[in-house]
A and B are shown apart, each in its own frame.
Chain A
Amino acid sequence: MPSRKTRLYKSIDWPTVICYLLLLIVGVLNIYSADYNPDVVSKGLNRADSQLIWIGISVSLSFVILAIDHRMYHFFSYFIYGALILLLIATIFLSASVKGSHSWLYIGGIRLFQPAEFAKFATALAVARLMSSFDFELKKTRCLVQVLVIMLLPVFIIILQRETGSALVFFSLFLVLYREGMSGIVMLLGLLFVLLFVLVLRFSPFQMAGELGSWGLFSALMLVVLIGIIVLIINGWRKLIFRYVLSSLAIIFLLVFVLNKWTSLDIKYTNVALAISVLSGLCCLLYGFLRQHRIMVIVALFLWGMSAYCYSVNYIFDNVLEYHQQTRIKVLLGLEDDPTGVGYNINQSKIAIGSGGFVGKGFLEGTQTKLEYVPEQVTDFIFCNIGEEFGFLGSVFVLLLYMYFLFRLVKLAERQESPFNRIYGYSVVSIFLFHILVNVGMVVGLMPVIGIPLPFVSYGGSSLLAFTILLFIFIKLDASRS
């Protein structure tokens, strides 16, 4: 049916496909360069060759995906999701340990692929299917629970596979929930959790003069109180705040300061901050109940909850996170300097990028990404090679290419009439965005070391194939929109 083919050809969103192809080229060039060693005439496949093979497979697969009727994706979404979940579970038992992780599926001793990579598009399909169903309403608890189960089930299994990096990707789907109506406060709270975590950890080694508590905890607690105040101001309690609250805070701190200075008392400022937070929370709660002000009760709960969280950050860090995760975070926060140990990757990565300068050293002329200074340089740290050989200009080009690509996908998602298509589209955006955020963030030293690939650029068959499927299902859905 030539007519259908032409229709498909015309209805495909070419800018997206071109971005995809460009990123593939960027990837294969940099893999070739990072792996390049003219002194060795190798008879076997080098990694650029095998990446080219995977590109061939991926592109062929994209044709298959485009050829399948778009309704199939909607129809089979739960089935695909279920199958992937079973595969994920099976992988735990069928896989051998690669650097402590059990994420590769082995059958008969042959390494096949990482099911976790494919769980991403499967989960996206399932989330889209559920959220687009007729009676789905995010505000209903039952619906919220359902969608959270779909999102977090793979996270749980992948953590069991000890692939924490891949597991975190699924949290990016909260962005989809936000787009579909989840309160923005959830996002802000998430951000606040991260911020408080960093504050407490980063500044807890810094003691206030006279050993009166750590700056980390103090600043975190005061930030919580400040947010409470701002919330109250926004909700029309300006008078109360400016007349009484701020002045009483000033008086309290002055009093504590004077007592510490001129008496033998040593009142810890962290305890003062905690007392302020808890007591003002109590005031808000009582006032809120007596005068029927809901916002007051919320502020009270916020103050208490966040204060408790601040106090438990160190405990969480020491007891929930594993040792290598702790050190990665410490290195990122500059609490540990270990250029040959854990900090090695990140330091070498920064050196490689920094040495690229404005225009870079030129293709194949990089020195840092050769000689194995940067480990994992073709997989997770491929962006180093871009930074070193193509400089600031090249890196910005790639970043802008990604930005354009994501913008395009948002645009595509927004033009869908079917909620299924739209939600799936936003899932694609969220997953890609998360990968870029974490991968590039890690390479430039703004994120802790979390080993997840840069979409379409990093070396690796599983991830390339999975990203291709993820993207092309959406391109197909878009091409077939009514």
Chain B
Amino acid sequence: MKIDKYKNRKVVVLSIIVVIILTFIIRLFYLQVITDKYKGFADDNAFLERTIYPSRGLIFDRNGELLVYNEPSYDVMMVMREVKGLDTLALCDILHITKEAFEKRIKDIKNKRLNPGYSSYTPQVLISQLSVEEYGELQEKLFKFPGLYIQPRTLRGYTYQNAANVLGYINEVPKRVVEENDYYKAGDYIGISGIEKQYEELLRGEKGHEILLRNARGRIVGKYADGAYDVKAKTGSDLHLTIDMTLQRYGEFLMQNKLGGIVAIEPTTGEILAAVSAPSYTPSMMVGRKRSENYPILNKDPNRPLLDRCLKGRYAPGSTFKTANALIFLQEKIIHPNTQFGCNMGYHAGKFKLGCHSHRSPLDLSESVQHSCNAYYCHAFRGLLDAPKYGHISTAFEVWKNHVVSLGFGYRLGVDMPSEDRGYIPNSKVYDKVYGKNRWKSLMLVSLSIGQGEVTATPIQIANLAATIANKGYWYTPHFLKSAESADTIFSFEKHIVGIEEQYFDPIIKGMEMAVNATDGGTARVARIDSIVVCGKTGTAQNPHGEDHSIFMAFAPKENPRIAIAVLVENAGFGATWAAPIASLMIEKYLKGEIAPERKFLETRIAEKVIMPKKK
């Protein structure tokens, strides 16, 4: 037997034990008795703050017609702990999903990274937004699936399947927004486009919350302090739009099977009466689960139904732009209303030729508008650029450009929509770059005079030009919101005075009137309405990709105009052919409420016409 020399080391061992246990006791005393820090956290866990979602504001048109409302929808919730013997196949059958999709969803729910709040005791969203049929079927068989519940929610419903580009849609809030904005939690809904996005803060209202108590089993046992700390939700504000839904629908009816846009504005206010973009989609395609199926299809469609051509389609304004130029020439005293220029089937300068159609010659200003004479504008535009009073062509060009900009071109108009294209108006630096400083001449720029070349505009900018002419010198920022039903917000839209004197508008208006109404030949006779004096200007925008675009810009009636309109039909040839009759029908519909019987044939002819790009 060895001698145990280290017997006293047992004291060290015992001391280590004591030190460890004592440290733990002190630590526990700190955690459990001294500090309150962790108790607060525990409250967060044991109290359940449940969000009360306000109902989203409704959307009406200018006549008080309900356009967008809330519709009940149903999410399937699953409490994992309570699921017993799930018949996966039967469930997938009802929900119209594949078994793989179902299994992946279950995996995602349980993934702590994707779903940090996961607990097998609390309801998790299995499938969101059941259709009414699916809901009915599942509701009947729900007893077969313990652990599954149906949670009602609200989705957007639409009275008319129109104006998708204006109304926009809502969807689950993107992850990026959740990170940036404290208001939103994953799974909330947010406006993604159109009015829904632009006026999100008005429409959504303010979320409220109620504080509920949970027992040890996670079951809700009641309200905390009888709801003393609850915050009521603030219902979203209802919106009244400037859109006239009857007119909007009529426009969409006329534009069926065509590409292009119609924008109608009330000149005196800037209120947008209709904004038709064709082709479009039906708003309910973007509701709920259908969106995930439809969106990729729409997004890939070569005709681009998701593009709002009214605000974002860039086109050469063509001859409609001549009215703007004429105003500038008058204002800059390059011409006066009686100035005449000759036209020999076009404008000739040396080897250069810019063609025109046959009309009598020479013409004065109003007649040049009536006949849309190219040569007249080439002469006058060169006259402006080369006028000695500016000293240099680039100075002259800047003068011209500033007038064009004041007429609403080249920059965003400021429409109350999430996005808008600014169109394009070059400045003199652009030409310095292309041709070199002092290396460009007025002749090189001559196509700008007839709205071709570098200049592009959106249909709403063209409609705005019509409104400006109708107003004889000013325009209001075109807008969609008429009023919001929340007391503390008043919306006003800016009045823009253009730098052109009122008197100069008369010869232009006269020309536009003659273009539609003159008996000696006008470009837009087809737009004539017996009972209304329509003033209009055709345009044909050269299109590098195919057939010319047909454009027409008009306002009516001549005295106290109530509607200004621009119509653009892609690949439809001359402005007079398709755009002018469409505009005229729109005007008649808006001002008279119905189309005169003798013009019904025109309506039918247009609605039935198919002008779609050939499929490759």
Contacts and interface: CB of A to CB of B under 8 A. Distances in A.
Interface of A: 36-40, 175, 178-181, 184, 340, 347, 350-358, 364-368, 370-373, 387, 391-392, 395-396, 399-400, 402-403, 406-407, 410, 413-414, 417, 419, 422, 426, 429, 433, 436-437, 440-441, 444-446
Nearest to A33: B216
B38 A350 contact: yes
Contacts of B4: 419, 422
A366 B1 CA distance: 55
Nearest to B1: A417
B119 interface: yes
A414 B8 CA distance: 10
Contacts of A350: 31, 38
Given A356-B32, A371-B119, A400-B21, A39 B41 contact: no
Nearest to B116: A340
A399 B21 contact: yes
Contact of A370 (B23, B39, B41, B218): B218
A371 B121 contact: yes
A464 to B, nearest CB: 22
A367 B214 contact: yes
Nearest to B37: A354
A433 B38 contact: no
Interface string B518-538: 000000000000000000000
B32 A354 contact: yes
B16 interface: yes
Nearest to A433: B17
B6 A399 contact: no
Nearest to A434: B20
Given A350-B38, A358-B33, A365-B216, 6 more contacts: A37-B81, A38-B217, A175-B16, A370-B216, A414-B7, A419-B2
B89 to A, nearest CB: 22
A57 to B, nearest CB: 28
Given A355-B38, A371-B218, A444-B28, A407 B17 contact: yes
B42 A368 contact: yes
Interface in B63-86: 81-82
A153 B598 CA distance: 103
B101 interface: no
Nearest to A436: B20
A370 B20 CA distance: 29
B28 A367 contact: no
B610 interface: no
B351 interface: no
Contacts of B38: 350-351, 353-355
Contact of A179 (B13, B25, B32, B81): B13
A37 B216 CA distance: 8
Nearest to A176: B13
Given A39-B219, A354-B42, A181 B33 contact: no
A353 B32 contact: yes
Please give me the 9 A-B residue pairs with the lowest Cβ-Cβ distance, nearest first. Answer: A354-B38, A355-B42, A392-B32, A351-B41, A367-B46, A403-B21, A354-B31, A371-B218, A444-B27
B367 to A, nearest CB: 76
A136 B384 CA distance: 114
Contacts of A426: 13
B313 to A, nearest CB: 46
B132 interface: no
A175 B13 contact: yes
A419 B5 CA distance: 12
Contacts of A410: 10, 13-14, 17
Interface of B: 1-2, 4-7, 9-10, 12-14, 16-18, 20-21, 23-25, 27-29, 31-33, 35, 37-39, 41-42, 45-46, 81-82, 116, 119-122, 214-219
A392 B33 CA distance: 7
B6 A179 contact: yes
A367 B82 contact: no
Given A178-B12, A441-B24, A39 B46 contact: no
Contacts of B2: 419
Contacts of A347: 41
A372 B31 contact: no
A352 B216 CA distance: 12
Contacts of A180: 6
B1 A429 contact: no
Contacts of B82: 39-40
Nearest to A353: B31
A368 B13 contact: no
Contacts of B25: 396, 399
A179 B31 contact: no
A40 B146 CA distance: 11
Of listed A39, A178, A364, residue having the most chain B CB within 10 A: A39
Given A179-B10, A181-B6, A373 B45 contact: yes
A417 B23 CA distance: 33
A406 B46 CA distance: 37
Contacts of B42: 351-352, 354-355, 367-368
5 contacts: A355-B38, A357-B32, A372-B119, A410-B10, A410-B14
Considering residues B1, B13, B14, which has the most beta carbons from chain A within 10 angstroms of its beta carbon?
B13
Nearest to A42: B84
Nearest to A361: B216
Nearest to A370: B216
A426 B35 CA distance: 37
A24 B292 CA distance: 55
A437 B32 contact: no
Contacts of A422: 4
Given A402-B21, A433-B20, A444-B27, A370 B37 contact: no
Contacts of B214: 367, 371
A88 to B, nearest CB: 28
Nearest to A187: B12
A480 to B, nearest CB: 17
Contacts of A184: 12
B20 to A, nearest CB: 5
Given A357-B32, A357-B33, A358-B33, A37 B6 contact: no
A387 B24 CA distance: 12
Contacts of B13: 175, 178-179, 410, 426, 429
A363 to B, nearest CB: 10
Residue in B31, B81, B82 with the greatest tally of chain A CB atoms within 10 Å = B31
Contacts of A371: 45, 119, 121-122, 214, 218
B10 A353 contact: no
Nearest to B219: A39
B217 A372 contact: no
Given A181-B6, A354-B38, A368-B46, A396 B216 contact: no
A463 B238 CA distance: 65
Contacts of B81: 37, 39-40
Contacts of B14: 407, 410
Contacts of B121: 37, 370-372
Contacts of B17: 403, 406-407, 410, 433
A347 B82 CA distance: 27
Nearest to A405: B17
A352 B219 CA distance: 18
A446 B23 contact: yes
B29 A399 contact: no
